[in-house]
Amino acid sequence: MGIEIHLLGTPRIQVDGKDIFFTYGKVQALIYYMVVKGVALRDEISGLLWPEKSEVNARKNLRNAIYEAKKLLGADVFVSPRNAVLQWNPTAQIYVDVHQFQRNPKQYIDIYKGEFLQGFYVKDAVAYEDWYLGERSRLKSMYMEAVYDLVDAGIEEKNIACIERYIPVLLSYDPYNEERFSAILELIMSQGFTTMGKQLYHQLQCIYADDLDESVPNSLREAMHLSKTQKQEAVSFVEHTMLKGRDAEAGEVQKYLHFFEDTPLALRITGDIGSGKTSLVEYIRDKVEPYRCVLDSQCYEEEQGLLLHAWIPIVGKILEEIELQGLENIELRRIYEIFPQLDRRMARDLGFLEVTEALPFDVVYQAVSNLLEQVSEEIPFTLIFEDVQWMDSLSFSLLSLLLLHHRSERLMMIVTDVEEVKGMHQRTLQSLEQQKALQSISLLPLPDERMRAFILDREPTLQDTDIVDQLVEVSRGNLLVLIESMQLWKEYGSIYGLTKDMELLYSKKCDTLSEEERKLAEFISLFYNEAPLGMIEQYMGLDKLRLLQTLEELERKGFIDYRTQHGEVQYSLKQFKCKEYLRDQMAIDRRQILHAYLGEAWEKRLTHSKEDMIRYKQLEFHFREAGQYQKALMYKLKSFMHYLNFNKDASPELGVGELSSVYAGYFMGEVTGKALQEIEDELAHVYTLYGDVPEVRALELPYLYGAGKYYMSIGDKERGLGYFQELLEESTEQEASNYKLKAYKEMIYYHLQMRHILEIHQYTTKALALAEQYHFKKEIGVILRLKALAFIMEGQPEQAIPLLEESIRLFSVTQTVARRYAINIGAAYNYLGDIEKSRSRLETALEMYQKALDYCDQTELYSSWIVFATNAGMTAFALQQYELAFTYFQKSYELCLQYTISRRRPTIEAYLGLLARIKGDTQTAVSYLESAQSHGVVEQHGQEVGRVHWAICFLKTEYPSAEVDQAFSKSLATYGTIALQQLDGYGDVWERTYLEQLLQAE
């Protein structure tokens, strides 16, 4: 059990990657206290947490809290070296973020997600509050010292990435550190990152004005005005962006910049949020800022209704440059009429709406176009418009015309947009691209190969590990999500969860949603995989047209995708991490209620047929997330039983000589064992939660059944038998007739393999009585056939025949029943064929085998068809009906190859070899028999080996040749002895008789 305790930031405890929740806050408080303190007196703890209680009650409460903590975290989490002392077990394998952070704050600084026990509160425990506030202050001081050291080292090493990372921390905790901020500004400006420097300076201005009501100190102003062109050591911007994963696109940008003066086109960068658009824009800014004035405007969805809003910061900055550079003879009257809020000559508060009727659009376009043309003659500009999909219509119309008609090497224009947000902007930009007015770089999701290359470039140790595939899967081609997921893995050894950058990314993305869209997206995020339209419609309670509009809007914004499955439209979120974010943002109680609602909704869709199998995993997931662990385990067991095909009657077509392979290849080994262990652990957990009540005890039955099947499949028959015996006792006590019958049948299968005739008769008699008592018609038919098999094994076929005929009758009461149980009817006819063959009544035997095949044709159980057809082919061969035999064996051989079925393949190849020689083709005959011999060794099935050796004897005797003797050089006696040792004494009577006569003659 992997346990992680996170105390820095909002406290949480995870067990095996899942958050656990506490009924009592003081249990949490106890754990948090002991994790940090390590050792404490019991009286000390009880006094801290229950100061208002008497000493006796406080100690009792402490005992209860310790018990609850051990239930959740394990019995060894606390140790008591003395009765009065409680100690956090230093050997417990539990990750605690505080311990890791304190070892080396600088190395593990990213572990500090927030203040110690942020948001945690314990009622009526003042002394406890004093303790954690003191710890909070101590850990925060350690964190800030580490930040100072890293920032100072960043300044010395000119590491812009490091400084950029910790600026928000310094602004939050130490904004008046004049000396440090001066050094930061000086470095940023000297390295040419003027936009970053301006943003930081503006933030400091606001802080000093709001908090101290004064301007920034002179040292900060001086640092801001350092020359951008000052000689400097090169700093690679690419090192702290995502451009390493966008090498091809970065190359396109470099090519665009290189040829811009010759072909001055605008540039469009399009891609999903987190795809790297901002990194490319910053890369461009870094390259052009030394010789161009860069002006930018960020568009937001909520500002779409504000006309010309996107142009206000651009025009405002142009006006500042005109004033700063002292440019004259530039007509600004029209500009002030369009943007009166930028006219500082007059004290008025007017907006564009006041003059729209007086100024037609062509006037607006002409005024802005003239302004850009005049000013760019003096100052080369780069205009950057980010997220133009949210730009207001008038701003976008103006931008579109400028892109089409205003081409000058003095004016570079860059636009970015989210391609998945469909709309007029996209169609217009595509049209401009077709008219050669725009060059486009599309940041598509990175293909899996590039994602893998990126991962292994950064983390070569992950070569040949599953974590690479997991990282590729969760990031879905989004480079930012990939980088953050890799960071999670490095810090916590898990890719699940969200970093702060991820939260910011998805917060920004989700901020574009309306309340109704957010509600719908949250609902879809709760599903195990996909959300059916019918469930969405029922939950949202909207009319169909409005629901369709909301879904289309979410699709337009790039949140959801859909597909049609089982005749119903299913919706899912495109990004796995977005799904995580939406889930995490929901209140825990609301999330649990909705999961319970979804579990009940899926239950209503159960049809009590095989189709339910695909629902069980969903039901398990929803009920577990709802905290209904008993129901979750119930569906986990149902899913497990379907996964293992438990309801299948164990290989009904097998003959007496093949019973040892009943469980062979039946399970999936390690996967099944792991699933079984999970079920065992969850069952213990459910007992702890709900107690020894009938509903929980009922879950023991499928567990015991599955465990028995598993251990039988891996060859541990003694242990498997033990589980079946326990199942028999438990089902008898619970009066669960269905599981009692399953236990009987498994005991019968076991004793059939061991050839314990007496025990078979005992259990078949008990099973028949039980099946008849509860009218289990299908089971009666199965048990009759098994009882018949016991009689066949002890040489009493006359006792078996009426049982097999009655089994066939029960399964044939109607055509519908006969179709449903066709394989059981076929198996009974197969046994009747074996009986007739043992009596040397080969024609009748062949009729029985053909009937078995006729019923098997109604199914797609090709392995059973092969068994029946092989028996029919061997019988036809004995009757010297070689063409018919070839038909049976050839089709069986084709099915073996098509479906990679190994059962009976050695026999089939051996007989095809004999049939080839009968037709005169010795070379093909030898080839088939050599292949049969090799497959027989692989199969390690005695009867198959016996039949192959019989065929070699037949070939050497009936068609002797040098080629045959060269291929099979041993003596007839050697091959014949092996064959007689392996051939079944009942099912292979004709073959044994042939060999016995042959060896006697020798």
Give the least confident one: 255-259, 622-626, 662-666, 910-914: 662-666
Ranges of each domain in the chain: 3-141, 158-224, 237-444, 448-497, 904-1002
Q: What is the mean pLDDT of residues 108-118?
A: 91
Mean pLDDT score of the chain, rounded to an integer? 85
User: Mind listing the pLDDT tens digit for each residue in 684-694?
Assistant: 999 999 999 99
List the one residue out of 987, 652, 991 whose CA is nearest residue 845.
987
Confidence of residue 460 (pLDDT cuts 50, 70, 90): confident
Domain 3-141 has CATH 1.10.10.10: yes
Q: What is the pLDDT of residue 827?
A: 92
Report which secondary-structure segment, H or E, holds 620: helix 613-625
Q: Which residue in this structure is represented by tokens 């007839």?
A: 972
Assess whether the region 3-141 and the region 237-444 belong to the same CATH fold.
no
Residue 810 has pLDDT above 80, yes or no: yes
Q: What is the mean pLDDT of residues 114-130?
A: 88
Pairing of strands 568-573, 531-532: antiparallel
Q: What is the mean pLDDT of residues 74-97?
A: 82
Q: What is the pLDDT of residue 261?
A: 79
Confidence of residue 349 (pLDDT cuts 50, 70, 90): very low
DSSP 8-state code for residue 557: B
Measured between alpha carbons, how far is 339 from 394 in angstroms, rounded to an integer?
Answer: 13
Q: What is the pLDDT of residue 647?
A: 36
For the chain, what percent of residues have pLDDT higher than 90?
Answer: 42
The CA-CA-CA angle for residues 615, 617, 619, to 5°, reads 70
Q: What is the mean pLDDT of residues 377-387?
A: 92
This model's pTM is above 0.95: no
Measured between alpha carbons, how far is 701 from 732 in angstroms, rounded to an integer?
Answer: 11
* Tokens standing for residue 750: 């076991």
Phi/psi-derived region of residue 494, left when phi > 0, alpha when psi is between -120 and 50, beta in every other case: beta
Give the least confident one: 104-108, 298-302, 799-803, 841-845: 298-302
User: Mind listing the pLDDT tens digit for each residue in 626-647?
Assistant: 999 999 999 999 888 776 654 3
| N-terminal to C-terminal alpha carbon distance within the chain | 69
Residues 6+ apart with CB under 8 A from 322: 330, 332, 375
Residue 369 has pLDDT above 70, yes or no: yes
Q: What is the mean pLDDT of residues 170-185?
A: 89
Residue 853 has pLDDT above 90, yes or no: yes
User: Mind listing the pLDDT tens digit for each residue in 530-568?
Assistant: 999 999 999 999 999 999 999 999 988 878 988 887 678
Q: What is the pLDDT of residue 353?
A: 40
Question: 200-232 burial by CB neighbour count: b if 16+ within 10 A, else e?
Answer: bbeebeeebeeeeeeebbeebeebbebeeeeee
Q: Which CATH class is domain 237-444?
A: alpha beta
Handedness of CA 788, 792, 795, 797 (dihedral sign): positive
For the chain, what percent of residues have pLDDT higher than 70?
Answer: 91
Residue 129 has pLDDT above 80, yes or no: yes
User: Mind listing the pLDDT tens digit for each residue in 818-836?
Assistant: 888 888 899 999 999 999 9
Q: What is the mean pLDDT of residues 790-796?
A: 89
User: Mind listing the pLDDT tens digit for each residue in 880-935?
Assistant: 999 999 999 999 999 888 776 777 899 999 999 999 999 999 999 999 999 998 87
Confidence of residue 430 (pLDDT cuts 50, 70, 90): confident
Report which secondary-structure segment, H or E, holds 804: helix 797-811
Q: How far is CA 983 from CA 474, 654, 977, 986, in A?
A: 55, 15, 10, 9
Specify the higher pLDDT residue, 784 or 243. Answer: 784
Residue 661 has pLDDT above 70, yes or no: no
